[in-house]
Every structure is written in structure tokens, then in C-alpha cells.
């Protein structure tokens, strides 16, 4: 019989991989109903609990957890593709937890790692979902965590990370608009709590300051990282007497919402308002017009962050914690042009 993976057991039992491992390693922590489902799935597949027991004795589960803001975000979908590719190569299964909609508490997520139910964590979110206690100085030495994509919050500064230089990328996007003659440039950022879009705002402000261009107090608005939020923000921007001639959006999803709202109002893109995004998601090149944006190597980031986590798991806290900066690229399409006035 071919080897059956714990992932197949989890699929048949309709539970998470972590729940299967709990059923075998700590059955007292699982409800009887769940335990029976998992045991039935093990019998159906012929999966050998002894194989898993051996991995526990080695101190490994061959499971890594990825914590991300939204599983539906096209950018994170591409990052996950890279993570899963590298995980398969290294013999790991991937457990995904969504920070916005998850049913697990912060304590439960952190306890999984501390109790060896997962070998490591990839954190694709700018704020830790674990709280500060689990990330205390004492704990940091033994927690294999790697951060991907996001700007690092102070509590995560000692962990390794893989990401682009968001400040430099946002500055380049804004400078491109300035080079075409735009002076009234607005920005739609993500959420107040997002360190990621805060760095992109810093890059935008730095470019405007360097060019000695004023920023109207109403030109920097929150778009909630969503199409709906960006449409609302765009309506606010277009209601200004001193309407901006260009809008820099902190991600492509907001740029798409902004583009739709501008065109719905009867204005032209880029004839009346130029729009530039960030991330270069798969929809960016098929919008009307195609979206000028900052491209991140999403799959490459996913692969690098997974391989870096593997090195940390294998070598422990002796591995370097310095950030790994990957290159970004300005992708010029048709949503930006010289200002009409």
C-alpha cells in the first residue's frame, strides 16, 4: 500500500491536520466525536499512527502553520503557491490560519507551536496574533517563526523576515507620477493598524516632500485594503474642490476599486485621473485600462520564507535573524499619463 499522508486523514475526517495530530498525540484535548471521526479516517486509509509517533519522538510533526490576513487576497494566493511548492520539496504539510476570520484564539495558535503540534510558523501579517507574552525574550529563542511580506512590528523585530523595501517602492511609484508632471497626488492607504501600508505611506510622503509638493490634509484616506473601502475613499477624494490628478493606492485591490469608482463617476482614467497600484496581482494587467503598479515577486517570497523557516527549524536560534530584502519593480501600463491640466 502506498504511504498515506496525515493530510489525507485530515481530508477524510473533515478536520485540520493539527486536529489529527492532537487526536494521536493528545487525545484528551479532543472531543470524543472528533476523535471517532479521525480514528475512522485512519482505519480507512491504513495510516500508521506509529509513523506519526516516531516523528513526535524526533520532536517533529512535519507541519508548518501559515498565518495570513485573508485567504481570498490574490497577492497572498501567489505567496501561498510559493510556500506550498517549497514545503512539498522539504516534506512539510501546510496548515493555514486566517487572522481576520479564524475560529482559533491567539492563545490556541501560539499553544500549537509551543506544544510541538506544528514545527514552525510563517507569519504573513504585520501584527502578531499570539499576543506579547508568547513572544517574550525567553520564548523568542525557541520559537521558529519567519515573517513574510510584511513590515516588522517591534515585537517581531528579532525574527527573520523576507520582504521588499516598501518605503523605497512607494517612493518610486510616487516619483513616477511626479516625473510625469503630477503635483496633486493623493494616496489611499490600507488600515490604521497595518504597518505595511504605513511604510508605503512613508514612502509617498518622502517623495512628495523631496519634490516640495504639498499634501492636502484630505488627500490621504483609508481604503481598508478592499475594493469597497477604496470606492468610498475615492468618492471622498473626488468631492474635493482641489481634486487630485493622480491617486496612489497601497495595494492593487484598492486600485481596482478606485479605478471603477472614477470611471463610474464619468471621469476618464488616465485622462482625468491617473491611478497607480501596488503588488501586481494577476488582475492588474486585465483591468480597463491595465494597471500601472509596483510588482512584488510573490511566489519567490513564498519559497524563500519557507526555505528560511526550514533552516531555522533545523538549526534552531543560531540562524541569522537579519531581514532578507527582495527586489521590487515598477510595472508601467496604461492607467497613468501626464495630467490634463
Q: What pLDDT is stored for residue 115 in this prediction?
A: 55
Distance CA 298, CA 281 (A): 9
Range with the poorest average pLDDT among 4-18, 165-179, 308-322: 308-322
Which three cell numbers, joined as nine digits, stand for 82?
510559493
CB 277 within 8 A of CB 254: yes
CB 301 within 8 A of CB 162: yes
Q: What is the DSSP letter of 184?
A: -
Alpha carbon 169 to chain centroid distance?
Answer: 17
Q: Which residues contact 217 (CB under 8 A, 6 or more apart)?
A: none
Q: What pLDDT is stored for residue 127 in this prediction?
A: 54
From the list 340, 335, 327, 207, the residue with the least C-alpha distance to 269 is 335
Distance CA 23, CA 28 (A): 8
Distance CA 39, CA 49 (A): 10
Which three cell numbers, joined as nine digits, stand for 256?
481596482
Which three cell numbers, joined as nine digits, stand for 286?
486585465
Tell me the domains of the chain and their CATH numbers. Answer: 1-59 (1.10.260.40), 166-296 (3.40.50.2300)
Q: pLDDT tens digits for 226-280?
A: 999 999 999 999 998 889 999 999 999 999 999 999 999 999 999 999 999 999 9
Q: pLDDT tens digits for 307-333?
A: 999 888 887 655 667 789 999 999 999
Q: Place 141 in a pLDDT band, splitting at 50, 70 and 90.
A: very low
State the average pLDDT for the chain: 83
For the chain, how many residues are written? 341
Q: Collapse the DSSP code of 124 into the 3-class scheme (helix H, G, I; strand E, B; otherwise coil) and give the result.
A: coil
Neighbour count for residue 200 (Cβ, 10 Å):
28
How does 23-62 read in b/e, with b if 16+ C-beta sit within 10 Å?
A: bbbeeeebeeebbebbbebbeebebeeeebeebeeeeebb
66 against 158, higher pLDDT: 66
Q: CA neighbours within 13 Å on the CB side: how many for 265?
A: 19
Q: What pLDDT is stored for residue 58 in this prediction?
A: 53
Q: What pLDDT is stored for residue 57 in this prediction?
A: 46
Distance CA 248, CA 201 (A): 10
Q: Where are the alpha helices (DSSP H) in 145-184?
A: 166-179
Q: pLDDT tens digits for 15-68?
A: 988 888 777 666 667 787 888 888 888 878 877 655 445 454 456 778 898 888
Which three cell numbers, joined as nine digits, stand for 67?
498565518
Q: What is the helix (H) or strand (E) element at residue 298, kind and residue range?
A: helix 298-315
Q: Place 102 in a pLDDT band, splitting at 50, 70 and 90.
A: very low
Portion of the chain with pLDDT greater than 70, in percent: 78
316 against 79, higher pLDDT: 79
Residue range 75-95: average pLDDT? 89
Q: Collapse the DSSP code of 66 into the 3-class scheme (helix H, G, I; strand E, B; otherwise coil) and give the result.
A: strand
pTM of the predicted protein model = 0.76
Amino acid at each position: 500500500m502506498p504511504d498515506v499522508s496525515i493530510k489525507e486523514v485530515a481530508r477524510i475526517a473533515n478536520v485540520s491536520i493539527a486536529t489529527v495530530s492532537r487526536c494521536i498525540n493528545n487525545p484528551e484535548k479532543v472531543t470524543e466525536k472528533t476523535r471517532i471521526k479521525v480514528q475512522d479516517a485512519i482505519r480507512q486509509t491504513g495510516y500508521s499512527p506509529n509513523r506519526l509517533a516516531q516523528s513526535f519522538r524526533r520532536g517533529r510533526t512535519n507541519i508548518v502553520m501559515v498565518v495570513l490576513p485573508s485567504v481570498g487576497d490574490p497577492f497572498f494566493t501567489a505567496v501561498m503557491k510559493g510556500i506550498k511548492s517549497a514545503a512539498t520539496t522539504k516534506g512539510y504539510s501546510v496548515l493555514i490560519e486566517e487572522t481576520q476570520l479564524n475560529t482559533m484564539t491567539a492563545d490556541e495558535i501560539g499553544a500549537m507551536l509551543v506544544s510541538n503540534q506544528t514545527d514552525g510558523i510563517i507569519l504573513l501579517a504585520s501584527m502578531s496574533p499570539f499576543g506579547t507574552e508568547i513572544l517574550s525574550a525567553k520564548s523568542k529563542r525557541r520559537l521558529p517563526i519567519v515573517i513574510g511580506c510584511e513590515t516588522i512590528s517591534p515585537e517581531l523585530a528579532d525574527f527573520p523576515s523576507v520582504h521588499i523595501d516598501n518605503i523605497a517602492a512607494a517612493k518610486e511609484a510616487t516619483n513616477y507620477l511626479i516625473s510625469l508632471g503630477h503635483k496633486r497626488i493623493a494616496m489611499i492607504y490600507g488600515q490604521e493598524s497595518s504597518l505595511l501600508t504605513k511604510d508605503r505611506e512613508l514612502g509617498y510622503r518622502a517623495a512628495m516632500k523631496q519634490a516640495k509638493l504639498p499634501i492636502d490634509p484630505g488627500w490621504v484616506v483609508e481604503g481598508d485594503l478592499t475594493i469597497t473601502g477604496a470606492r468610498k475613499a475615492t468618492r471622498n477624494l473626488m468631492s474635493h474642490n482641489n481634486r487630485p490628478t493622480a491617486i496612489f493606492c497601497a495595494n492593487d485591490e484598492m486600485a481596482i476599486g478606485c479605478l471603477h469608482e472614477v470611471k463610474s463617476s464619468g471621469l476618464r482614467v488616465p485622462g482625468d485621473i491617473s491611478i497607480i497600484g501596488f503588488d501586481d496581482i494577476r488582475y492588474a494587467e486585465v483591468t480597463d485600462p491595465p494597471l500601472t503598479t509596483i510588482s512584488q515577486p510573490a511566489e519567490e517570497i513564498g519559497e524563500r520564507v519557507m526555505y528560511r523557516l526550514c533552516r531555522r527549524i533545523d538549526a534552531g536560534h543560531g540562524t541569522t535573524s537579519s531581514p532578507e530584502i527582495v527586489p521590487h519593480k515598477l510595472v508601467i501600463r496604461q492607467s497613468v499619463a501626464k495630467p490634463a491640466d
